Every structure is written in C-alpha cells, then in structure tokens.
Amino acid sequence: MMIQFLLGTWFICSTNFPMWTKGDKTAPTFNYSLHSEAMEKPVLFDEVKYVKKGKEKSIRGYDYQDEKDPSKFTWRGKGLLRIAKSKWQVVLQDPQGQWAVIHFSKTLFTPEGVDIICRSPKPSPELLSGIKKAMTADDKLKTHVAELKDL
C-alpha cells in the first residue's frame, strides 16, 4: 500500500522546485505519519522541514489519497495554509523502499515539477544517475530531468 511506503522521513535529493533550488532554504525533508484522526480512509500528516538562516522551519498539511489511484494525493495546508492545496503523485518508486520520484502539479503559487526523494540524505551519484535515466522513460517525468538540481 502506498501509504505504508511513504511513512517516515524522506530527504529531497534532487529537484526543480524553486523553493529548494534558490539555496536560501536547505536540508529539506518530507516527514509523513498517519494522521491520528484518520477515520475510514488513511490520511497522511505531512511535515516539510528545512533550514533557513540557521533555524529549522516547517510547513504542515495533510495528504488525502485518491480513491481511484493510490499513487495520487491531494495536499491541504494546515492552519493559515488551509486555503492552499496541491496535487502530487508517486510516479516511480524503488521496490526496496529507498527512493521515489514525485511529480507535483502547478498551483497558483508553484510551478509543476519533480522531486527525487531518498531515505538517505546523500545517495550515491550512481543511484541518482540511474533514477534520472529511469525518469526519461516516463512521459510525465522526462521533460523535467534536465532541470533537476542535486541538493
């Protein structure tokens, strides 16, 4: 099940998302846990952590799994970010659970793009190269490969 695959901490290792590529926010991670109030359908609590000017910051929200396609999610912000939402999908994933490629849709505030996420903060250059090569076989991902910046 996709929810179980995602639980825990993921390091953003390569991305074309401007928030991470500008360089003023570093060490970004996705931290997923089951939301305690999840009723009939599991809901992920989603905490994005990063460092800015030496201080840890975070963005919190909830991920709701698509009923028809378990690889797709809709993120909704928590608190003041409640009005924000975005759609994302796990397009590629490692059978051993060590990496995944996420595609996120364009929103009012962000461009469409991709993240390569890994369980390790510094995957080998060979692994990242292999993931990028696998991305070229996917129509949704291949246009983003040249834009990726390794973090």
Residues 92-141 pLDDT 10s: 999 999 999 999 999 888 899 999 999 999 999 999 999 999 999 999 99
Give every CB contact of residue 122 below 8 A, 6+ residues apart in sequence. Answer: 13
Q: How confident is the model at residue 81, as a pLDDT?
A: 67
Tokens of 7: 């639980």
Instruction: Output the pTM of the full model.
Output: 0.91
Q: How confident is the model at residue 37, as a pLDDT?
A: 61
Q: What is the pLDDT of residues 39-64, one digit of tens each?
A: 677 889 999 999 999 999 999 999 99
- Long-range residue pairs from 8-11, CB within 8 A, at least 24 positions apart, any chain: 8/32, 8/119, 9/119, 10/100, 10/117, 10/118, 10/119, 11/117, 11/118, 11/119, 11/120, 11/121
Q: Are strands 85-93 and 8-15 parallel, antiparallel or unpaired?
A: unpaired
pLDDT over threshold 70, residue 1: no
* Nearest alpha carbon to residue 49 among 59, 35, 34, 37: 59
- Give me the chain's average pLDDT, please: 92
Domains and CATH numbers, the chain: 2-146 (2.40.128.20)
Q: What is the pLDDT of residues 74-100, one digit of tens each?
A: 998 887 667 678 999 999 999 999 999
Q: How confident is the model at residue 41, as a pLDDT?
A: 79
